[in-house]
Structure 1
Amino acid sequence: MARTFFSALSLVLLISSASAYKSSSGSGSWQKGECDITRINAQEPSFRVESEGGVSEFWDHNSEDFQCAGVSFHRHIIRTRGLMLPAYHNAPVLAYVLQGRGIFGVVISGCPETFESPQQQPEKEVRGGKFTDRHQQIEYLKQGDVIAIRAGDAHWTYNNGDEELIIVVVQDNSNNANQLDQNPRSFMLAGNPEIAQQQEQMKRFRGSRGQQEKQHEMGNIFRGLSTEILAEAFDVDEETARKLKSENDERGPIVIVEKELQVIKPPFRHNGLEETVCSAKIRENINNPSRADIYNPQAGRLSTVNSFTFPLLNYLRLSFAKAVLYRNAIMAPHWLTNAHSIVYITRGENRIQVVNQKGQAVFDGQVKEGQVLVVPQNFAVVKQANEEGCEWVEFQTNANAMINTLSGRTSAIRGLPLDVVANAYQVSREEAERIKYSRQETLFFSGSKSSHATQ
């Protein structure tokens, strides 16, 4: 059953004071002055890394927009039977599955190996001449899934479907879990991504743009360790230890598994009570229209994921939203009170206007499918779909991102006394009344040419 806007708003107001400390110490770098922005751009990837099993695309995290939000953005396209090699990051990661299905695992140090091969005996690693296995939890992936990964937790992904698995990712580099600088870093447990990066150095999407920019840094951590130490640490011979370094591996960060990946797959089940980090839910699906927080049959819907519905986001201090806007419909002018927003268009085009504290339009244009727009905290923004409608997702840099609107039934203008509106805008009381009460919707408004949609 869909939750109403009012119940969600009331819940936010009740806990806002209790979570204020999180907002004040959350993500973003506005304290350092990077958000004195006079121009925002709709951005596309600035470079890509080709692998045997897919492509990784990276947006320019050095741009003023991303520096303001303190995040980096990338997209992975994993081919069928493609395995994204295990890695961990210097900052929390929030990912969204745009297309396809697969399996993934997150390895948390100290947690038990909850999956094991049938009939395995702990004292015997080989049974009946065949190797057995134990490993940590594995999850299924499908379109619409939101995945939360803490800083430093190793993870991997495998495409066991029959189409490309496409995942977009925000890495929150200014999160206080990251004690390094704001450069995104991926610590690979396998592979040799340096070779793939070198091969792609001259294949940037925008010609010579960004040739001197500092890229997303990644490398195999075993390469820096001596072969002798590795052999002793793993109790293997030096030839095997040398393979851990993957020095001659040219497959890239995503490799092809020759046969179906042999792992102990989980049953389809719903997670139960979450009591520890080891059992915490790391995935939440947002695709079902029936779970929408706000729904207007003439205009569209909004679904959100925050720390109330996805408790792990309390640790990441991030939240997520998915919006569907029907043709010509408008999302009310609004601002996020406590978070930056990283908007990724997943279908269609959206006309977006963004205004800063000086009353300057820092962006006014069409944002197309596959483009990213960063909207800083408190900047006013309005969105309108074209004739085909539009869908997008938003990564928000607070565990409980809160929204205020400028028009509509629950807006700031609606909450002002009539005479305040009349005197503020030098209008008659009748005009002030129309300004306050003409829109009865809350967040999504039907456009002049809108019609009912069944999306």
Structure 2
Amino acid sequence: MASKTSLLLSLLILFSTCLAHHQQQQQLPQNQCQIGRIDALEPYDRIQAEGGVTEYWNADEQQFQCAGVEFLRHRIQPGGLLLPSYVNTPLLSFIERGRGVQGVVLPGCPETFESSQEQQFSGQSQRRGERFQGLQQDRHQKVQNLKQGDVVAIPAGAAHWIYNDGDSELVAVVFFDTQNNANQLDQSHRRFFLAGNPQSQSRQQQGQRQPRRQQQGQTHQEQPYANAGNIFNGFDVEFLEEAFNVDRETAEKLQGQRDQRGHIVNVEQELQIIRPPQSRREQEQEQGRRQGGRRGGWSNGFEETICSLKLRENIDNPTHADFANPEAGRISNLNSFKFPILRQLQLSAERGELHRNAIQSPHWTLNAHNLLYLTDGSMRVQIVNNAGESVFDDELREGQVVVIPQNFAVIKRAGEQGSRWISFKTNDNAMIANLAGRVSVIRSLPVDVVANAYQLSRNDAQRLKFSQQESLLFSPSSSRSQGRASA
């Protein structure tokens, strides 16, 4: 009887501990979002490597902590290879400039790209002579071409790499959702390299400030790659020899301890990759299949398996815009209906463009945090919290980032040169509610409710509801003319 009582007591203590921990975890994001001020952020630090540089934003900033996200930017030079690695969070990357090739390895999937016997001794292999004699033909998982405007989705733990095969710099910005259910480590993104010695080329910017959390006596991983060797470095060389059935010299090269190139390396000769060319007709057919699937003409929900998941979608094509106003701009949303893998990642993206002095309707996002990165131009952004207080009212410039927490209201107005942005959102079908315009909350309220809520006459409430005839993107000329007409 005593043993049963002791066991029951132990279970109660364990249950209470787990419940308290769960409640603490549930309260943590709420406490982190008590934000009094949001700032426009630029890269906090950089990691230099042989073939490029990675710039990253300070993950200890309060707005990043609130949203549970992190952000960085790769600048890969022509011929540069971002070494294979994987991370503990799902990620979305956006190709801001340039072109390249990317490979993503999904565990358990077949190596469907393979060279023929005739190709085995051609090209680079032939130049290297007898060294390749007797080797099997190459096989690997499929790769994808990257171009400006592509959004790439990569599940947590999937190994990936990028190669710049163009003649100009490839710029890719990367968004990490550290609070995603797929991440069971901690509230930070961790990159696990499969090759190289990333720490050898790391350096910090001169005059950098200390992270906010470190000033308060807390610690954070300041440089994601600065103290990182590749994962083989932690294994004994003898184990690697046996596991790969190779000699000691090769096993030591796996560890990369003498590699001084960093995490982005220069490829000595053009990278030889099995990459079947895709004709324009094939591209048009693929586009037709996607459009047909969105209309429901052919899709039955089983077209994509884990091994055939589409990992790349271009968001820059103006013909795919969801909202367009020739006088104001356009917005394209990339959600799980258009890009099915986003349902698994629970993420989405938005590409927006505003013409000179045009305005996007004030709105809030119902079900997601929103990280906004400005790729071109400038725009004035105002963000308001639940207390009706302005937490951000400033000009956002090219290359800057701002986080808009869930339900915080925001309004945007483009500068004299217009503006373009990419937004990453923490829901696969992020939804917004507009405050002004033809499809808005105010427009949907009864006139008497508007009149009494804002102490207006019924006529003034009528004008408030119906004076703005545009829906989401407002041209500056129409806004001024409609304002004069209602005066």
The TM-score range, normalised by the shorter chain, is 0.7 to 0.9
Deviations along 1:49-82, whole A, 9 cap, x unmatched? Answer: 0010001001001111001110100000000000
- Backbone CA RMSD of aligned residues: 2.2
In the alignment, which residue of structure 2 is the partner of 1:217?
224
Cα deviation for residue 130 of structure 1 reads 6.4
Give the equivalent residue in structure 1 for 2:249. Answer: 239
Indicate which of 307, 311, 331 corresponds to 1:302: 331
Q: Tell me which moved more, 426-435 or 155-164.
A: 426-435
Question: Which residue pairs with 1:190 in the alignment?
Answer: 195
CA apart distance, 1:118: 1.4
Q: Amino acid of the residue matched to residue 56 of structure 1? A: T
- Give the structure 2 partner of residue 98 of structure 1: 96
- Match runs of 1:205-284 below 5 Å: 207-210=208-211, 213-218=220-225, 219=228, 220-268=230-278, 269-270=282-283, 274-284=303-313
Q: After superposition, where does 1:5-84 map in structure 2 within 5 Å? A: 31-84=29-82
Give me the whole-angstrom Cα distance separating, in 2, the residues matched to 1:255 and 1:325: 37
- The 1:418/1:208 distance shift into structure 2, 3 A limit, reads closer
Q: Equivalents in 1 of 2:380, 2:234: separation in Å?
A: 48
| AA at the equivalent of 2:31 | G
SS at structure 1 position matched to 2:388: coil
Is the 2:44–2:208 contact (alpha carbons within 8 Å) kept by the matching residues of 1?
no
Q: Residues 274, 79 of structure 1: CA spacing in aligned structure 2 closer, same or farther, 3 A cutoff?
A: farther
Of residues 128, 146, 150, the one that matches 1:145 is 150
Report % sequence identity: 54
1: CA distance between counterparts of 2:171 and 2:112?
28
Q: How does 1:39-438 map to 2 (within 5 A)?
A: 39-119=37-117, 132-197=137-202, 200-201=203-204, 203-204=205-206, 207-210=208-211, 213-218=220-225, 219=228, 220-268=230-278, 269-270=282-283, 274-438=303-467
**Larger RCO (CA under 8 A, 6+ residues apart):** 1
> In the alignment, is the contact (CA less than 8 A) between 2:374 and 2:400 conserved in 1?
yes
Shift of 1:266: 3.0
Any conservation in 1 of the 2:29–2:66 contact (CA below 8 Å)? no
TM-superposed CA distance for 1:359, in Å, is 0.4
Question: What is the alpha-carbon distance in structure 2 between the residues aligned to residue 90 and residue 291 of structure 1?
Answer: 32
Provide Cα deviations, 1:351-385, integer angstroms capped at 9, x if missing partner. Answer: 00000000000000000000000000000000000
Task: Give the CA deviation at 1:137.
Answer: 0.8
Is contact 1:29–1:35 with CA below 8 Å preserved after alignment?
no
Deviates more, 1:148-157 or 1:260-269: 260-269
Instruction: Flag the structure with higher strand content.
Output: 1
Q: Which runs of 5+ in 2 are unaligned?
A: 1-25, 121-130, 215-219, 290-301, 481-487
Separation in structure 1 between the aligned mates of residue 276 and residue 383 of structure 2, nearest angstrom: 45
Letter in 1 for 2:263: P
Q: Secondary structure at the match of 2:40?
A: coil
Contact 1:29 1:70 in 2 (8 A): no
Task: Indicate the structure (1 or 2) with the bigger Cα radius of gyration.
Answer: 2
Q: How many residues get paired?
A: 418
SS at match of 2:232: helix
In 2, distance between residues paired with 1:39 and 1:248?
46
Q: Which structure shows the bigger proportion of residues in helix conformation? A: 2
- Distance, in Å, in 2 between the alignment partners of 1:30 and 1:432 is 41
Distance apart, 1:132 and its partner CA: 2.5
Counterpart residue identity of residue 37, structure 1: I
Residues 166-190 of structure 1: CA distance to partner in whole angstroms, max 9, x if unpaired?
Answer: 0000011110000011111000000
Partner of 1:22: none
In structure 2, distance between residues paired with 1:288 and 1:388: 20
| Pair 1:285–1:30, CA change in 2 (3 A) | farther
In 2, Cα distance between the equivalents of 1:216 and 1:311?
33
Q: Secondary structure at the match of 1:217?
A: coil
Could you tell me how far apart the structure 2 residues matched to 1:394 and 1:329 are? 18
Q: Which residue of 1 aligns with 2:9?
A: none
Q: In terms of mean alpha carbon deviation, does 216-225 or 183-192 score higher?
A: 216-225
Would the aligned equivalents of 1:195 and 1:250 in 2 still touch at CA under 8 Å?
yes
Partners of 2:133 and 2:262 lie apart in 1 by 36
Determine the C-alpha separation between the residues in 2 that align with 1:91 and 1:150: 7
Q: 1:210 Cα shift?
A: 3.4
- Which amino acid is 1:174 matched to? Q
Distance 1:51 1:317, change over 3 A: same
C-alpha deviation, 1:401, in angstroms:
0.3
Residue 40 (structure 1) shift: 0.4
Deviation, 1:207, is 2.7
Amino acid at match of 2:208: G
Question: Deviation of residue 215 (structure 1)?
Answer: 2.1
CA-CA distance at 1:119 after TM superposition: 3.0
Whole-angstrom CA distance in 2 between matches of 1:127 and 1:385? 57
